[in-house]
Structure 1
Amino acid sequence: MQNNNETTVNVLQELNQFVNDRIEGYKHAAEATKNPAHQSYYKDLVNESNMFSNEINRNISKYGGERQESTTAKGKIFRGWMDVKSAVTGSDEESIIEANLTGEEWAQKAYNDALDHRAELPESIVQMVEKQKQTSLTTCERLRQMKKTVD
């Protein structure tokens, strides 16, 4: 049976893989977009995601774990698929935004999975996860609004 520190570390390491996916996804989007405003927004989201990752990694270290720098296999496959799709069809703004929305939906699931362990996590960790989850939700809404303007 795991103690609470091990559970905390495991939950945070798994969550941080999704945050690292978010970083890579928005880097890719910033390079692919032709829209300067979108590019600026995606770069802001890379910076925000880096802050999230750093915050999570500080807590992983605090609870005795190793920093998590990798991404998920699912995220790597998705980014590869988007590269192939872009090569075949070109990268239009709508498909870039749609890919970002998919990534944020995966992030929401990852935050919810982390919060499923709420009873085993320190309150400060729960608050951090909830705060990041809310920020991701706000990003989802902004991306939906951006998608409406490019349709």
Structure 2
Amino acid sequence: MKMDSEQITVKLNALVQKNSDAEKGFEKAAEISKASSLKEWFTAKALERRMFREELKLELHSLGHPCVKTPSLIGDFHRVWMDVKAAFSLDNDEAMLEEAIRGERAALEEYSDVLAATTLGPTTKAIIRAQRSKIENGLVILHAIDNIEFQEES
């Protein structure tokens, strides 16, 4: 799929916003989680997403494209949903793991969509690929944590 400069700007700005929302979401998950190791992992992921966002903003700037204001209203609603889900859940850690897995899957889809654009420059494409790879690795870890938790409960 060929994309013009405006479409690339829209796609990269969507990733900036997605990472801003993910940063806030991971911060919320760290706040709600009870296990200290999970809190630390969510906090590290929040920092990682802040770095992703800043890297993308710098790339947009270097390409001469404007950057949007973040985070999004949808992200705000999602964080409220996390509070509600935690309030009604018997296991806050499990609820936060489920939300993190869902969010990371959505992020992978969005990154894959942007990578499908053949007109991205090599630097931009390398940034997107590296970030996508880190998200994918994080998702593997989330699934492993979720599986360990499930096995311990059985």
Give me the TM-score of the superposition, normalised by structure 2: 0.87
Q: Percent identity?
A: 23
Query: What do residues 86-143 of structure 1 show as CA deviations (whole Å, max 9, x unaligned)?
Result: 22335521111111001101110110121121x1211111111111101000000000
- Residue in structure 1 matched with residue 131 of structure 2 by the alignment: 132
Aligned partner of residue 65 in structure 1, secondary structure? coil
- Residue in structure 2 matched with residue 150 of structure 1 by the alignment: 149
Work out whether residues 33 and 93 of structure 1, in 8 Å CA contact, stay in contact via their aligned partners in 2: yes
Gaps of 5+ in 2: none
Aligned-partner residue type, residue 133 of structure 2: Q
Gaps of 5+ in 1: none
Aligned-partner residue type, residue 63 of structure 1: L
Aligned partner of residue 37 in structure 1, secondary structure? helix
Aligned partner of residue 66 in structure 2, secondary structure? coil
- Residue in structure 1 matched with residue 36 of structure 2 by the alignment: 36
Q: Distance in 1 between matches of 2:13 and 2:137?
A: 23
Aligned partner of residue 13 in structure 2, secondary structure? helix
Work out whether residues 33 and 96 of structure 2, in 8 Å CA contact, stay in contact via their aligned partners in 1: yes
Q: Distance in 1 between matches of 2:66 and 2:33?
A: 35
Give me the TM-score of the superposition, normalised by structure 1: 0.88
Matches within 5 A, 1:17-36: 17-36=17-36
Aligned-partner residue type, residue 8 of structure 2: T
- TM-superposed CA distance for 1:70, in Å, is 1.4
- TM-superposed CA distance for 1:83, in Å, is 1.4
Does residue 53 of structure 1 match 2:59?
Answer: no
Work out whether residues 31 and 39 of structure 2, in 8 Å CA contact, stay in contact via their aligned partners in 1: yes
- Residue in structure 2 matched with residue 123 of structure 1 by the alignment: 122
Work out whether residues 9 and 64 of structure 1, in 8 Å CA contact, stay in contact via their aligned partners in 2: no
Larger deviation: 122-131 or 78-87? 78-87
Q: Distance in 2 between matches of 1:10 and 1:88?
A: 37
Q: Distance in 2 between matches of 1:91 and 1:77?
A: 21
What RMSD over aligned residues (CA atoms) do the two structures have, in Å? 1.8
